[in-house]
Structure 1
Amino acid sequence: MPVRQAGEFQMSVRSHIDWFELHGDIEFSGQRVRFPELLAALSRGESAIRLEDGSLGIVPDEWADQYSMISQLGVVEDEHVRFAPAQVALLDALLASRPTVDVDEKFEEIRKKLDSFEGISEAEEPADFKGSLRTYQREGLGWLHFLEEFQFGGCLADDMGLGKTVQVLAALSERIKNNGPLSPSLVVVPRSLMFNWNEECERFCPSLKVLEYSGLDRASLRDSFDDYNVILTTYGTLRRDILELKDQRFDYVVLDEAQTIKNAGSQVAKASRLLEANHRLALSGTPIENHLGDLWSIFEFLNPGMLGRSSVFRRFTDDNDNRSLLTRGLAPFILRRTKSEVAAELPERFEQTIQCQMGEEQQRLYDEMRDHYRQSLLGMLQEQGLNKSRMHVLEALLRLRQIACHPGLLDPELVDGNSAKLDTLAPLLEELLGEGHKALVFSQFTSMLAIVRSVLDRAGITYEYLDGQTRDRKAHIDRFQQDSDCGVFLISLKAGGLGLNLTAADYVFLLDPWWNPAVEMQAIDRAHRVGQTRPVFAYRLICEGTVEEKIAELQQQKRELADAILLENRSVLSNLTRDDLELLLS
């Protein structure tokens, strides 16, 4: 049977009203094959394709890698592969290795604009906006205009504290001013941020009519949606009310802290994709360019179908070449500015680790607990293996971390005993307060914060407190921000990691290490954000010679494992080895 080698490969892109078509013809010594036929052969893993005259065309090995993503991201039809407008940058990146591709005028125009961001410049805040945007925020407003022009969804991923809310409010206010009556815009936020958004709306855009859609009596509010400009709701309400909300057409749908929907299979992620809107926007301060695999769900909300199927997308992100290609293709849709990039507009931030040395009694208790777990766990590992021992491992590491904070976390009778961290923290707070500073104190253990409260009470120090049970958060925050006598704010990690503006503080203390950098940054960024005028000093307190130090060592080798220990992610803990455990318990 005659065999033919692949020759000339001609590709072209043609534009239609709301899609693009990629055409292609491959020549095998005078015999031609359409591009969809080639993709079908590649998907079957074949190394040759049968030609019209009965001969075989040899498919070069490298074509499987070069073109398989095209078939996964586009829709393969009889004569061509079809792509959505939001996929232009991805398609351009996929075709970059081709020496010549014939493209029409419309595709070339959009490609140039996406490639160079030509024409995306600073935009002035609308006249009725109370306040002034910083330079980078005006550039963000210009980027939002760009997304509107092409009807793309985008992710505003500025560092925490750089004012993403303000940029969105300026865009919504300007849109209403320029376009007259519009459908309301829906803003979905974690419950803890409802008051923050409401406050920002009142402060910067008092002309916006804002409705809080939450609470037990919310059903009656739906009939009045069209009387408002902005509807504020929570992710929980969205999940519960999606059958009603999906029938309402919104102008914008904005997801704040959009990492909430990164699990594509969750009910809230599915609900978000059912919403009808003219424009879609996601806000997230988490550095997402390092976690491309988690982006699928967010982009399925922003630009449905843009990244193909979830399973295929995650498989492609395992390859470095594909990751760089995807980074390029997604670049126009993700705007991220870090604090270092806009450093001239923010005060400096200083971070330091303070090593605390345990006293004799705390050290004795820690050593006893460590030796107990070392003996019992290593013996259990020997007999039962790691899988059956995992829960005991988590418990041991939790208990050791608690003793490193304060022995009273394990034995209530010891709450008045000595703790290296308290002995370090108390005099630092007294000194700072005497100099007119304010401080935030974070711990993931509310029982540790309760002990700190008793110390502050005895010292006569005025403070505020916030954990997951706190109601009327706004009142607590306002008091700390405005009352010069209130110098300390005690905050639990889960309650205070997101959305709090606490710029009255210029010192931050992290009482126990989380080793999840994003979480630590969120805590520090409560003070180091837009509106802060002074340098911010952040201190991490770690006890010498404890599991806290060991986790820090282990983190350098196995970062996922360290996250698993502190976030109690048991699936990742499957990577734990006996050697790792011996290091932690040494």
Structure 2
Amino acid sequence: SFVRAGDFSGVLAEKVRWMSWLHARSLNGVLADEMGLGKTLQTIAFIAHLREISPSSPPRCLIVVPLSVLDNWMSEFKRFAPSIAVMRYVGPASERKGFQQTYSDSLLGPQFEVLLTTYEMCNAEIHWLRKRSWGLMVVDEGHRLKNPDALLYMNLETLDCNTKLLLTGTPVQNNIKELHALLRFLNPTIFRGTPTQFAAWFDPKADDTAYSRLHEIIRPFLLRRTKSQVLGSLPPIKEAVLFIDLTPLQANLYKSILAKDLSIFSKRQKTGLQNILMQLRKCCLHPYLFPGVEPEPYEAGEHLVTVSGKLALLDRILGLMKERGHRVLLFSQFTSVLDILQDYLTQRDYTHERLDGSIRRDERTAAVDAFQGSDTFVFLLSTRAGGVGLNLTAADVVVFFDSDFNPTLDQQAAARAHRIGQSKKVRVIRLLARATVEEVLWRRANRKLAIQRGVLR
């Protein structure tokens, strides 16, 4: 009765029952639904359920989220459970001190049911948070706790919580030790072994039944549903990997970096060529990422496109997508690449929005709303800043100009379009430079995904 405007049949009821089962037994778990299945709404429904079964003394909830999705959580509470008192705990130290004075442990004066804050604020205000008892702690993008030695992990471990809930579509990103870190954070009395022991116990190379045994053990503590299981009506997603050859200029730069022949680079660039892997990756993207390579004086022209094999192919792809009425999310990890792509889009007179880590929160919201509410053709995004917490179902094509070392981050980025509310088939296009370091990294990423599929099957 505290929740409105949502679809609360079937799957949602199953998730609330599972979370209630954990809460009643003071156990903790991972809601690991595939990205785009509404983990935020499911959590809000569970909090509303706790309020309904204990209206006189609902448990106080702490929700810890990335700063980039804070506004989305606030808007979802207002939309689905407006009667729940949610307080945003961010801002400068003076504001936080005033908040602490206003919302004391006393029953007198104003109170809140949900405290919504960020990772950074938890680390900064851990001493104040420790003074309270929490009925429920929720950590969004819970894979952030994959490193037991991280400050956030150690701080959150010290909080007094009845129930802990991690939300993540990717509880395993690189190896099975990360899953152990999450499970040990949640239930340390059950998962007491070391990460190395855990990995050895469930090594599929040593035992064909390893993953089956793992599934039996973690089943009570981890609930995962995929889009194919839950959303039979959701259009499919298909990925195509397109290999391109380097242009002669790119090939010359690439060989020079491998041979450590720095004579072709400007003096100011030589000092920045120590990270060979990063320089090789830049070379695969666009030669103008190296100062002094572009013509002087610089003039806009077709050379911006023709000197990069990837940009030349992207030019053909976007021309076709525009002609057929598609809308595109274009991802890169590098803001310097986004700069070049933005120059290209402007040169082609393609309407576009841009979002990267330097964009302020209000500008971020405005960019998303502008793309969702108009016919803007391309949304330029950095993979990490734009890969979580956004609903961009107006797009039906996702292009990765470059791939992340962590393949799950690319999965999260693609899920911005392929999620609840999408009515079209989603195409994912990945651009790779043939026979380069990009291909090596891509094959390594596929091995990581194979581990993830085995663990979460």
TM range (shorter): 0.7 to 0.9
2:78 to 202, 215, 233: 202
* Kept after mapping to 2: 8 A contact 1:129/1:170: no
**Higher radius of gyration, 1 or 2:** 1
How far has the Cα of 1:373 moved from its partner?
Answer: 3.5
Q: CA–CA distance in 2 between the matches of 1:218 and 1:527? A: 36
Q: CA–CA distance in 2 between the matches of 1:553 and 1:255? A: 31
* Kept after mapping to 1: 8 A contact 2:327/2:396: yes
2:8 to 130, 133, 138: 133
How far has the Cα of 1:253 moved from its partner?
Answer: 0.6
Q: What is the letter of the counterpart of residue 446 of structure 1?
A: T
Q: CA–CA distance in 2 between the matches of 1:201 and 1:297? A: 30
* Kept after mapping to 1: 8 A contact 2:407/2:445: no
1:91-490 matched pairs, under 5 angstroms: 126=1, 128-133=3-8, 135-180=10-55, 181-216=57-92, 217-222=95-100, 223-224=102-103, 227-288=111-172, 291-310=175-194, 313-314=197-198, 316-317=200-201, 319-320=203-204, 324-358=212-246, 363-376=247-260, 395-411=275-291, 414=294, 416-417=303-304, 418=306, 419-471=308-360, 472=362, 473-484=364-375, 486-490=376-380
Equivalent position SS for 1:521: helix
Q: CA–CA distance in 1 between the matches of 2:217 and 2:141? A: 23
Q: CA–CA distance in 2 between the matches of 1:205 and 1:412? A: 56
Sort the Cα spacing of 1:270 and 1:477 in 2 relative to 1 into closer, same or farther, 3 A.
same
Equivalent position SS for 1:474: helix
* Kept after mapping to 1: 8 A contact 2:143/2:172: no
Q: What is the letter of the counterpart of residue 35 of structure 2?
A: M
* Kept after mapping to 1: 8 A contact 2:35/2:419: yes
Q: What is the letter of the counterpart of residue 276 of structure 2?
A: A
Q: 1:102-148 CA deviation, whole Å, 9 max, x = no partner?
A: xxxxxxxxxxxxxxxxxxxxxxxx46322213532322122112212
1:483-502 matched pairs, under 5 angstroms: 483-484=374-375, 486-502=376-392
How far has the Cα of 1:238 moved from its partner?
Answer: 0.6
Q: CA–CA distance in 1 between the matches of 2:335 and 2:5? A: 39
Gaps of 5+ in 2: 105-109, 262-270, 449-457
Q: CA–CA distance in 2 between the matches of 1:278 and 1:470? A: 37
Sort the Cα spacing of 1:289 and 1:538 in 2 relative to 1 into closer, same or farther, 3 A.
closer
Tell me if 1:508 matches 2:386. no
Q: CA–CA distance in 2 between the matches of 1:167 and 1:552? A: 34
Equivalent position SS for 1:175: helix
Q: CA–CA distance in 2 between the matches of 1:167 and 1:146? A: 15
Equivalent position SS for 1:483: coil
How far has the Cα of 1:311 moved from its partner?
Answer: 5.4
How far has the Cα of 1:442 moved from its partner?
Answer: 0.2
* Kept after mapping to 1: 8 A contact 2:357/2:385: yes
How far has the Cα of 1:297 moved from its partner?
Answer: 3.2
* Kept after mapping to 1: 8 A contact 2:134/2:161: yes
* Kept after mapping to 2: 8 A contact 1:442/1:493: yes
Sort the Cα spacing of 1:270 and 1:548 in 2 relative to 1 into closer, same or farther, 3 A.
closer
What TM-score, normalized by structure 1, do the two folds share?
Answer: 0.66
Gaps of 5+ in 1: 1-125, 378-390, 561-586
Q: CA–CA distance in 2 between the matches of 1:355 and 1:511? A: 11
Range 452-461 or range 303-312, more displaced: 303-312
Q: Structure 1 residue runs of 4+, over 4 Å off?
A: 318-324, 391-394, 550-556
How far has the Cα of 1:283 moved from its partner?
Answer: 0.7
* Kept after mapping to 2: 8 A contact 1:441/1:488: yes
* Kept after mapping to 1: 8 A contact 2:138/2:165: yes
Equivalent position SS for 1:288: coil
Q: 1:393-425 CA deviation, whole Å, 9 max, x = no partner?
A: 972232222122111111365285322222222
Q: CA–CA distance in 2 between the matches of 1:519 and 1:198? A: 24
Q: CA–CA distance in 1 between the matches of 2:428 and 2:228? A: 16
Q: What is the letter of the counterpart of residue 241 of structure 2?
A: T
Q: What is the letter of the counterpart of residue 466 of structure 1?
A: L
Q: What is the letter of the counterpart of residue 462 of structure 1?
A: T
Q: What is the letter of the counterpart of residue 403 of structure 1?
A: C
Sort the Cα spacing of 1:393 and 1:339 in 2 relative to 1 into closer, same or farther, 3 A.
farther
Q: CA–CA distance in 2 between the matches of 1:329 and 1:290? A: 20
How far has the Cα of 1:476 moved from its partner?
Answer: 1.4
Q: What is the letter of the counterpart of residue 421 of structure 2?
A: G
What TM-score, normalized by structure 2, do the two folds share?
Answer: 0.83
Tell me if 1:547 matches 2:437. yes
Q: What is the letter of the counterpart of residue 269 of structure 1?
A: Y
How far has the Cα of 1:524 moved from its partner?
Answer: 0.7
How far has the Cα of 1:518 moved from its partner?
Answer: 0.9
How far has the Cα of 1:371 moved from its partner?
Answer: 2.9
How far has the Cα of 1:161 moved from its partner?
Answer: 0.9
RMSD: 2.7
Q: What is the letter of the counterpart of residue 264 of structure 1?
A: P
Q: CA–CA distance in 1 between the matches of 2:442 and 2:165? A: 37
- Structure with greater contact order relative to length (CA < 8 Å, sep ≥ 6): 2
Sort the Cα spacing of 1:284 and 1:316 in 2 relative to 1 into closer, same or farther, 3 A.
same
What residue in structure 2 maps to residue 93 of structure 1?
A: none
How far has the Cα of 1:323 moved from its partner?
Answer: 6.0
